[in-house]
Amino acid sequence: MHKFKTSRFAWAVGYLLTLHVAALVIFTLFRVALFLLTSYEIPAESNSISLIATAFVKGLWFDNVIACYILALPLVVMWIAGLCNYTPRWLYRTTAAWYTLFYAVAFTFTAANIPYFEYFFKIINSSIFNWFSYVGTTAGMIFGESSYHLPILLGSLAILGWGALAFYLAKRFWQKSLTAHAAISWLRRAIILVVGALLAGLCMLGIRGRMGYNPIKISQAYFCEDPFLNQIGVNPVFNLLTSALDDRRKENKQLELLDEEQALAHAQTLLGRKGIEGISPLAREVEASTAPNRKHVVVIFMESMSAHLLQAYGQEKALTPYLDSIYHHSLTFDRIYSAGIHTNHGLFSTLYSFPTIMKRNAMKGSVVPQYSGLPTTLQREGYRNLFFMTHESQYDNMNAFFRTNGFDEIYAEEDYPKEKIANHFGVADDYLYEYALPILSDRAASGNPFFAVLLSISNHPPYVIPPYFKPRSERIEDQIVEFADWSIAQFMAKAAKEPWFEDTIFLFLGDHGKLVGTPECEMPQSYNHIPLIIHGEGITPMHHTSFGGQIDIAPTLLHLLGISYTQNNFGVNLLNEERPCTFYTADNLIAARDEAHLYIYSPETGQEFCYDTSAEKIRLTEFDADFEALKSYCFAMLQSTEWMVRNKLTLDYIPEKERR
């Protein structure tokens, strides 16, 4: 036994296991950093320490899966080398390089998970690959935001320290292996064969994560009612890899919630549609109740503007004095939810009234997809459609998509003076509005109405506060909201002096929300609950409290404009139609809610979460008929969306090639 313990294979195994344990320690330290740096308060319960400990133990479980994946090949190679009693220095160095490379990647994503989780309240997932197409912009966001510097530092230190440790231990263990016997007997080879097979088996078990029929899945991390603790046990690399693999599965490429014929029939009933032959089962003709008024329209998409940031919706701080001031003199909708939690979701669903399907970016594609919607309808009515963004025009394929689908003019970073570029997301909000104003005045002077969309950015990291703006708040996260509101106020004050102002309808809405306060569930409501304020001369002030979504904005606006049109989408006119509930998504989760219930579903794991929202603090409850109704509603809408998109039934007319 003594001779076996000092064999070359024993030293090689000692090296691998030492690095394995060290990696688990570093993963745990990252989890501690996430726990401490994330602004979330653990409920003060008697068993909170036990719950936290359980979350960390589960985290160690998931960490071990990733560590075993990295361990597998070196273990097999060292096992074969041990059987040959051949463990040279180059083999140790090669193993050290292997560990350095793969853990550098693992620690990079684990460090990146800290700011990602802080912003989205989700473990990092495959949605980040959408950002890889914009290296410069993404790099500017990462390195330009000061709150990201600590995670970057932690990741850099972990990678450098890990590399040094791997090569140092390689040298030490190789030197120890030189003291082993130069030759080994067949008995010792037999022992090495058995021990190696046992270790390889344990490694495979570690990769599977469990003994059962199926390998470990994300659902294993969910063990309590606290959404924060349920998530921090998930290893970020594990979540990233599994979500990327899930994206490649047929059932995730094509959402499969229920039978499509059943979904379409139910959607027709829910929306009161009979369909139009040749267009779609959900198409209908909408007749205006008034004559067209040909007012100009300005839509301001406010980046990350959660309703929870406005005092009108309960915010204690005065962060949005302008928006709060016009709230009481406008047509407002208090229960509007964004289609998703990314900007492309908000733009797509608002302008074309199609729901967002999970983390999918519907605007991307080598062949630009075509949709009818608000821009195309207004274009037919003689409107000049303009889109203003702060960043480069190709971001999220916006330039190609919007030019293909109803916009006449696109203004982006390429059009602005270089000295006005604030960061890698382009110009600040106030300059965007300043730049757009004379162009709008010029288009109004032509005699034709314009439809202008202005997409702000300032309320998105990296935050840039211009020196000429003096915020009242201390936290930069609050200061930037003040600046975003102030920029809108400046724009409206200047626009009020223009002759077209009184003939214009202004819409203010969030593209999506952001985390405000403490997350109350797996899908914090502040991420999707957004303000919708419609303001202008002739708009009767009124506060609507029925539920709706971004998909309902276009039909509601077209009603205000007195325009008849063919509708082929999922929106309803919130002024004379009422939804029994609203539905939305957040990357990997689906939700539907009404006055007293919130239903959340994960297509990846099949898990359901049911919340009672009738009290001041929402709480988990049992699935019943009310939740079945919510589930049926959102499943029918999303599955019907999947069917219409896949069959390219997204236009409000019969394409010429299909008429022949």
Angle CA(257)–CA(260)–CA(263) in degrees, nearest 5? 80
> Cα-flanking dihedrals φ and ψ of residue 28, to 5°?
-65, -40
What pLDDT is stored for residue 46 in this prediction? 47
Residues 636 and 263 sit within 8 Å (Cβ to Cβ): yes
Tell me, what's the pLDDT at 523?
Answer: 93
SS3 sequence of 428-477: CHHHHHHHHHHHHHHHHHCCCCEEEEEECCCCCCCCCCCCCCCCCCCCHH
Which mean pLDDT values do the consecutive 10-residue runs of the chain (660 residues) have?
Answer: 62 95 97 86 68 92 96 95 89 96 96 88 83 71 78 94 97 89 78 93 92 74 79 91 75 80 97 96 96 97 98 96 97 97 97 94 78 97 97 86 92 94 93 98 96 96 94 96 98 98 98 93 95 96 96 98 98 96 95 97 92 92 97 98 94 72
Q: What is the DSSP string of 116-170?
A: HHHHHSS---GGGGGGGG-HHHHHHHHHH-GGGHHHHHHHHHHHHHHHHHHHHHH
Quickly count: other Cβ atoms within 10 Å of residue 85's Cβ: 17
Taking the C-alpha atoms of residue 123 and residue 114, their distance in angstroms, rounded to an integer, is 8
3-state SS assignment for residue 411: strand
Q: Which pTM does this prediction carry?
A: 0.79
Dihedral sign for Cα 647, 653, 656, 660, please. positive
Please name every residue paired with 598 in a beta bridge, in sequence order, or none if there are none: 593, 611
Q: Residue 655: its pLDDT value, please?
A: 75
Would you state the structure tokens that stand for residue 99, as one six-digit string?
């560990």
Q: What is the pLDDT of residue 2?
A: 44
Number of H helices, E strands in the chain: 21, 18
> What is the structure's pLDDT at 125?
86
Please state, in angstroms and rounded to a whole number, the distance separating the CA atoms of residues 585 and 500. Answer: 38
